[in-house]
Amino acid sequence: MKRTAAEIRKAIESNWKEYLSRYGNLFSSNHVDGSTPPSVFVGAYGYPKVLVGPMLPPIHGDTAILDSPEKWVGKSLEDIVNYRLSLVRGIKPVKVEDVGQRYIESLQEMSMSVKSTDAQMELVKNASPVVSVDGDSPIFGPIGEIKSATFSNSSSDKQIQKSYYDKDLLAQDAVVDLFNKGIEISRIQKCFSIGMFGKNRKLVPTRWSITATDDTISKALAEKIIEYDILDTTLVFSYNHLGNYFCVIMFPSRWMFEMQEAWYDEQGNVGFGCDFEDVTGLKHYPETAGGHFASRLAVSEYLDVRKLQAAVMVLREIRPEYAVPVGVWQVREGVRMALKQKPIQVTNFLEGLDNACKALSIGKNEWISHSKLYQAKKQKSISDFF
């Protein structure tokens, strides 16, 4: 029998409280001593003066898994929530343009580290462990204002270090260059957030930097894709994790991209969000927010590797099992995983949509009724008249 979202959240809370009954003293102190993954967070509240600091678990060793979304595919929702709750977040108010102060430079140096870095934080007062989980707010561990913080020296990633010291390199060029060199998206996002790239450097709230990084990289890839040969068949991919069901339909066409999301509210009603773009790009902030750019990155990455051009529809059905939001990373990684599966080959788009809907509870007609890509597909292109 499937559990409701409330039951899932209650189980997660119960297991976390059991963990705290054994180790709660580590999270209820004004002194935190451990190894940061490395991880840093920049808040958005109060912008342009924001709260900035490291995220540090009260344990030593290799803690990279605690803040490496690329490694979370296959993990349970409970595992991921526990990773988030285990990180104590130190905060200090800083103006976004004050990237030259020693505190920020220390965080930048830490962010370049190739491995988990030992650190200590003394907080103004004791932190308090989180004991409740809801279905609306992002998950964070204890938060405390920093009185002082020290970080051990560690080896830096040479590729990131090169971009950091190149003060003439534009931020977007640094982001794309590091992606092309194989640096993980989550690492690029953190470095971008803590003001490490560009000519006029400043702090960027973490939430914004995630979307900006996905947008910048996928936009650069799309500019390459429109010069490639067009895919010669229709392919359907699918994958599900954490209560999110992803289907990707690719068919022969000039580059077009659409991301649709559908979700169930507490009363069982279905809500939709849909965003479409063609070779001219996106003209508005997407209804699907960061999900649009995250899924576009995964799709454009796939097409670029294969030197192909296509029209692509990504469908994301959010089931009640997705009881706790864990971040837009899971859209990017979910679509990436879908595209790693063996695709089903069909004869046309509608057959592909029929096939995709076999794995979804929402029917084809509902997806079509919200689709701008489907309407664009029906319009004849100039080439049809020659």
Domain boundaries defined on the chain: 5-157, 229-385
Banded model confidence at residue 286, pLDDT cuts 50, 70, 90: very high
Dihedral angle, C-alpha 350, 355, 361, 363, nearest 10 °: 20
Euclidean distance between CA atoms 227 and 119, whole angstroms:
48
**Reduced 3-state DSSP string for 89-115:** EEEEEEECCCCCCHHHHHHHHHHCECC
- Of the given ranges (70-74, 207-211, 281-285), which has the lowest mean pLDDT? 281-285
pLDDT(296) > 90: yes
What phi-psi label fits residue 242: left (phi over 0), alpha (psi between -120 and 50 degrees) or beta? Answer: left
pTM: 0.94
The mean per-residue pLDDT over the stretch 254-276 comes to 92
SS3 26: helix
Joined tokens for residue 149: 């913080």
Q: Omega before 129 cis (within 30°)?
A: no
pLDDT recorded at residue 101: 96
Euclidean distance between CA atoms 54 and 40, whole angstroms:
4
The mean per-residue pLDDT over the stretch 214-227 comes to 98
Banded model confidence at residue 87, pLDDT cuts 50, 70, 90: very high
Euclidean distance between CA atoms 315 and 320, whole angstroms:
16
pLDDT recorded at residue 28: 83
DSSP 3-state helix, strand, coil percentages of the chain (rounded to 5)?
40, 25, 35
Helices 185-193 and 102-111, interaxial angle, to 10°? 170
Euclidean distance between CA atoms 229 and 309, whole angstroms:
6
Which positions ≥6 away from 47 have C-beta within 8 Å? 96, 205
Any idea which fold 229-385 has? Ribosomal Protein S5; domain 2 (3.30.230)
When the pLDDT of each residue in the chain is averaged and rounded to a whole number, the result is 93
Banded model confidence at residue 385, pLDDT cuts 50, 70, 90: very low
The mean per-residue pLDDT over the stretch 349-358 comes to 96
Q: What is the pLDDT of residues 226-246, one digit of tens each?
A: 999 999 999 999 999 999 999
The mean per-residue pLDDT over the stretch 99-118 comes to 97
- Where in 57-177 does DSSP place strands (E)? 88-95, 117-123, 143-151
Which one is predicted more confidently, 28 or 187? 187
Joined tokens for residue 14: 């119960």
Banded model confidence at residue 164, pLDDT cuts 50, 70, 90: very high
